[in-house]
Amino acid sequence: MNTPFVYGKLPQRIDFTDREKELERLKNNFNSLVNTMIISPRRWGKTSLVKMASLLATQENKKLKVVHMDVFNIRSEYEFYLLLANEVLKATSSGWDDLVKHTRFFLKQLMPQVSFSPDKQSKISFSIGWEELQKHPDDILNLAENIAQKKDLSIVVCIDEFQNIASFEHSDVFQRKLRAHWQTHQKTAYCLYGSKQHMLLDVFSNYSMPFYKFGDILFLEKIPTSNWVSFIQKRFVDTQKEIFPEEAERIALLADNHSYYVQQLAQQVWFRTVKRVTLPIVENAFDDIINQLSLLFVNMTDLLSTRQLSLLKAILNNEKQLTSKATLAKYDLGTSANVIQLKKRLIDLDIIDEMQGGIRFLDPMYKHWLATRFFDISLSYVSQDRL
């Protein structure tokens, strides 16, 4: 029997939890060609949401094509152009012959070359050098729009890990170039998202940045505990196993309603259950996940300075005034300016985030490990639905 809980790979429709309003909104944006920026911490289900919205939107609109590209490993403007050209042409071509024809028609000034690997995957490269391409990127940046106009299609280009373009040389110039081209497109829209929330907020919400007010900003919130409880119970029932609301709630709370970890913990509980779940099964499954992650967490912690760890300890102890004299002295944090720099560095490392005046750990399992196994601090788990 296949496990009814999915994490680390794209879910099917039945595996999708809540997010109905976000899914409908994104699907409508795709069908209406509204530019969309999605912001949330990592592993909250952004990619799954985009893929599911793409599927539903293309089922409704046969003239809609969705391009998916991930720029996580892209380190330069030139690599970005190559990836964009390749993915747009693949998504809008019906086969090899069609792809070659489109390449030669829409990119002929770039002297394109199409090659095929042993696994029959196409790869496009250009005969002109980077200096020449840099001067004339219009054919690539307008490629999706030109194809859409020529073939009477609607196209949505979805770019994962979009914040990585901030690391390109002359990033501001590149972002302005993208905005200048993409904002003129009538039959193409763009969905931009990634895993570094603080960087995306700067790209999309800072009025001095080129992508400020580029389109609809969709902030993903945590899925409420009550929704997780009903989902977990249903998936257990679907596989002839039983879990009471108390145990299902405990799974959600231990994982801090974090989509990836709720699914992982629920899966491990399901594996350990013959007929009916008990709280000891939940606790043991949780402890096993923490144990599996311990080596990773040890390595992460070894890279932190003493004062960075002291600040994390203060946060775990729910200190409300991190820059007060009492807190600075209690945790040996130095000055208030030190705290600001320490906090910024921990945010850059994706260990914590600051939203609406509050600080939270991005990885609930690391938070638990750090509190209970490194600092010997006990944590309480209370449903946010009841606050």
pLDDT for residue 109: 78
Distance of alpha carbon 129 from its chain centroid, rounded?
33
pLDDT for residue 98: 87
Q: What distance in Å separates the CA atoms of residue 109 and residue 147, rounded to the nearest whole number?
A: 16
**Across 13-27, 109-123, 269-283, 368-382, least confident range:** 109-123
Calculate ∠ Cα 384-258-218, nearest 5°.
90
Would you call 305 exposed, middle or buried from its count of C-beta atoms within 10 A (0-12, 13-18, 19+)?
Answer: exposed
- Tell me the mean pLDDT in the region 320-342: 95
pLDDT surpassing 70 at residue 13 = no
Higher pLDDT, 99 or 117: 99
pLDDT surpassing 90 at residue 5 = no
Q: What distance in Å separates the CA atoms of residue 195 and residue 41, rounded to the nearest whole number?
A: 6
- Tell me the mean pLDDT in the region 76-85: 92
Residues in the chain: 387
Residue 189: which region, alpha, beta or left (left: phi > 0; alpha: psi -120 to 50)? Answer: beta
pLDDT for residue 307: 97
Q: What distance in Å separates the CA atoms of residue 140 and residue 30, rounded to the nearest whole number?
A: 21
- Which residue has 């003239």 as its token pair? 63
pLDDT for residue 151: 95
The pLDDT > 90 percentage for the chain reads 64
Q: List the domains of the chain with CATH numbers.
A: 19-219 (3.40.50.300), 225-299 (1.10.8.60), 306-386 (1.10.10)
**Across 119-133, 248-262, 303-317, 338-352, least confident range:** 119-133
pLDDT for residue 34: 96
Q: Which two tokens stand for residue 162?
A: 């979009």
pLDDT surpassing 90 at residue 133 = no
pLDDT for residue 1: 59
pLDDT for residue 387: 46
Spell out the SS3 assignment of the chain.
CCCCCCCCCCCCHHHCCCCHHHHHHHHHHHHHCCCEEEECCCCCCHHHHHHHHHHHHHHHCCCEEEEEEECCCCCCHHHHHHHHHHHHHHHHCCCHHHHHHHHHHHCHHHCEEEEECCCCCEEEEECCCHHHHHHCCHHHHCHHHHHHHHHCCEEEEEEECHHHHHHCCCHHHHHHHHHHHHCCCCCEEEEEECCCHHHHHHHHHCCCCCCCCCCEEEECCCCCHHHHHHHHHHHHHHCCCECCHHHHHHHHHHCCCCHHHHHHHHHHHHHHCCCECCHHHHHHHHHHHHHHHHHHHHHHHHCCCHHHHHHHHHHHCCCCCCCCHHHHHHCCCCCHHHHHHHHHHHHHCCCEEEECCEEEECCHHHHHHHHHHHCCCCCCCCCHHHC
pLDDT for residue 53: 94
- Tell me the mean pLDDT in the region 201-225: 86
pLDDT surpassing 60 at residue 14 = no
pLDDT one-digit tens code per residue, 250-262: 999 999 999 899 9
Higher pLDDT, 312 or 133: 312
Q: What distance in Å separates the CA atoms of residue 2 and residue 235, rounded to the nearest whole number?
A: 11
Mean pLDDT of the chain: 89
Confirm if 298 and 262 have CB atoms less than 8 A apart: no
Higher pLDDT, 382 or 247: 247
Q: Determine if the pTM surpasses 0.75.
A: yes
Q: Distances in Å between the alpha carbon of 299 and those of 182, 241, 261, 304, 366? A: 42, 38, 20, 9, 12
Confirm if 65 and 92 have CB atoms less than 8 A apart: yes
pLDDT for residue 314: 97
pLDDT surpassing 70 at residue 26 = yes
Of 243, 183, 175, residue with least CA distance to 208: 175
pLDDT one-digit tens code per residue, 295-325: 999 999 999 999 999 999 999 999 999 999 9
Higher pLDDT, 119 or 134: 134
**Across 127-131, 159-163, 170-174, 263-267, least confident range:** 127-131
Confirm if 26 and 16 have CB atoms less than 8 A apart: no
Confirm if 124 and 86 have CB atoms less than 8 A apart: yes
Give the CA count within 13 Å in the CB-facing half-sphere of 309.
13
pLDDT for residue 116: 67
pLDDT surpassing 90 at residue 199 = no
Please count the other Cβ atoms lying within 10 Å of the Cβ belonging to residue 348.
Answer: 11
